[in-house]
């Protein structure tokens, strides 16, 4: 993979090396599988979706999709809402981690 200039510029703003390493470690865990990356890209670009649609379109099992959603919910980058009897999952843009994820996906998709 070829890295574009400025791809990790947002890490340069970190005040200490420790926080930069922590950010990189967290992004590595978040993007630890192609399925996770596809799910995040889908939620960011297309908005909230049901779990079955997420699993089908990201080409992962429902069980893996649920596991990834729980992981993302724990990190507070995805929220689960009830719409009628259905549960819908959406990307949250209210914290530092989710902003960095959005920036990273935007750079990779250019």
Question: Residue 36: what pLDDT?
Answer: 87
- For the whole model, what pTM was predicted? 0.70
For residue 16, the tally of other CB atoms under 10 A from its CB is: 8
Q: What is the pLDDT of residues 7-40, one digit of tens each?
A: 444 444 444 545 545 555 666 666 778 888 889 8
Domains belonging to the chain, first-starting first, are 9-109 (1.10.10.10)
Q: What is the pLDDT of residues 28-78, one digit of tens each?
A: 666 778 888 889 889 998 999 999 999 999 999 999 999 999 999 998 999
Asked whether residue 82 carries a pLDDT value surpassing 90, the answer given is yes
Dihedral Cα 105, 90, 72, 97, nearest 10 deg: 50
């Amino acid at each position: 993979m070829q890295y574009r200039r400025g791809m990790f510029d947002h890490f340069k703003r970190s005040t200490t090396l420790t926080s930069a390493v922590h950010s990189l470690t967290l992004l590595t865990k978040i993007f630890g599988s192609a399925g996770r990356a596809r799910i995040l890209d889908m939620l960011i670009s297309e908005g909230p979706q049901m779990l079955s649609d997420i699993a089908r379109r990201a080409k992962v099992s429902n069980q893996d999709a649920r596991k990834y959603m729980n992981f993302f919910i724990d990190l507070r980058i995805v929220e689960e809402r009830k719409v009628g009897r259905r549960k819908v999952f959406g990307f949250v843009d209210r914290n530092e981690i989710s902003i960095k994820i959005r920036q990273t996906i935007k750079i990779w998709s250019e």
